Amino acid sequence: MRKLTLICLLLGLMTVAVPILYAQDSCLSSVCGIGQSAIDAYPRPDVTPLEIDEELLYDRDYRQLSFAVTIYDAPAGASVETLGAGYSFVTVLDESDGWLKIDDGRWISHIDVEEPYTPSRFAGVLLPQETLPYTMAWTLRHLRGAETPGGEESANNRFLYRYSRVNIYSTVEVNGYNWYQIGVNEWVHQFKVAKLLPIPRPEEVDTHRWISVDLYEQVAIAYEGETPVFATLISSGLSDWPTNEGLFHVYVRFRRTLMSGAYNQPDFYYLQEVPWTMYFDGDIALHGAYWHDGFGYRKSHGCVNMTVTDAHWLFNWSEDEYDFANEDYTGPAVYVYSSGEYD
């Protein structure tokens, strides 16, 4: 569970019209929030979602391994390695008589894998140069808004799919938690959305292009100077494997790379061809995650997961920060922080 702090009131880069705040005892259901005419004037966030590149998204045949798997040097050949049971995905490069090639000289039986896995089609957004008049948020689950702050979801309200983009027009506190107005008589609990909260450029950020990672909202934002240009949902480290806060720099990049760890442990993982990877803090990286669709929630062993689409965009965008001709391999600054505290 997450507990909101009001540092968003400090974040004026994208929100000049700060959402109206009401105390619980001063908000009657008939007068809460802003009205129809104001909402009609700005019914949805004025942002541009990244286009989905179908070829990029489906250029690999990703398969999850069902259990411990023996790897052979050829179809029905000699055993070369055994992968223990865990969270493992491989990339199928070729098939031959029920055998699947996952790398040069590495084959597994087709009975050891699940059906092809489809990566998430969620994509982040390009931000306009002008300031957004209201804070933008993504819904984190399918929902209908309540008609009043603190109420139950109402069948009278529109159905919103997970990852819908909404405006937050006003805020009411109920029993210690914030409820956000996202439409006329439409209210959602703070845990059901992730907010886009740009921050002022920290003094220690020393690159023109830089990235902020908000661990509380689970949102990453790319900046050029003081200006936010792109934002998306991420999945950072779980409590047992937290993503460290602080200022870092991307120090090495891979278009595709193997990630594996926790051998012979219950949380063993083996992930082939992790796409668009940028390491910034030891073994912690920004990268695409083709193996889940739970963005907006912590899910990783410390890395900052993004969709394949978003990681590809960020990888290409960050390249202009390097000066390879002068052997400058220091990448964009990555500022990791938390705008609130988990309960």
Give the pLDDT confidence of 163-195 residue by residue, as tens digits. Answer: 999 999 999 999 999 999 999 999 999 999 999
Please give the full DSSP string across 150-177, using - where no structure is assigned: T--B-TTSPEE-TT-EEEE-EEEEETTE
Half-sphere exposure at residue 259, Cβ-oriented, CA atoms within 13 angstroms:
28
DSSP classification of residue 3:
E
Task: Read off the pTM.
Answer: 0.90
CB 138 within 8 A of CB 233: yes
| Backbone torsions φ then ψ of 79, nearest 5 degrees | -70, 135
pLDDT of residue 8: 32
User: In this predicted model, what pLDDT tens digit does every residue of 64-123 receive, in sequence order?
Assistant: 998 889 999 999 999 999 988 889 999 999 999 999 999 999 999 999 999 999 999 999
- Both tokens assigned to 183: 């439409």
CB 42 within 8 A of CB 133: yes
Q: Who's near 28: CB < 8 A, 6+ residues apart?
A: none
User: In this predicted model, what pLDDT tens digit does every residue of 19-77 receive, in sequence order?
Assistant: 555 544 446 545 689 999 999 999 999 999 999 999 999 999 999 998 889 999 999 99
Confidence band of 9 (pLDDT split at 50, 70, 90): very low
User: In this predicted model, what pLDDT tens digit does every residue of 223-241 receive, in sequence order?
Assistant: 999 999 999 999 999 999 9
Contacts 24+ apart (CB under 8 A), 327-331: 329/251, 329/252, 330/207, 330/249, 330/250, 330/251, 331/207, 331/249, 331/250, 331/251, 331/253, 331/278, 331/280
CA trace torsion 338, 164, 291, 311 (10° rounding): -60
Is residue 298's pLDDT more than 90? yes
